[in-house]
Amino acid sequence: MRKQTATVNMDAKQRICLTRVLSKEERENLSSFRMYREGGKIVLEPIAEIPSKDHWIYKDPKALESLMKGIKDAEEGRLHDLGSFAKYATEDE
């Protein structure tokens, strides 16, 4: 990753805008930043947060591998219709 710099000014409420250093994709995918001071600098580390209900997949390597295989299969057109699963749906989902 190349080093990117920009000078930004604080607004009247002491805030800065990061749009000059973030791509549109980054602005859409990042939800927060971890901030820390290092050697006289203020460093913002981008964080893409994962909702707690989805976090389990990253703790189960077998399930994650299966998910990634399914995504790859779908991207490469290896799909087949299994019909409707409506009979398995419940009202609380």
Number of H helices, E strands in the chain: 3, 2
All structural domains of the chain with their residue ranges: 1-47, 51-78
Digit-coded pLDDT (tens) for 7-49: 889 999 999 988 888 889 988 888 899 999 999 999 989 888 8
What does pTM read for this prediction? 0.49
Distance CA 6, CA 66 (A): 42
Write the DSSP symbol of residue 88: G
pLDDT score recorded for residue 67? 95
* Cβ–Cβ under 8 Å, residues 45 and 37: no
Res. 53: pLDDT tops 70: yes
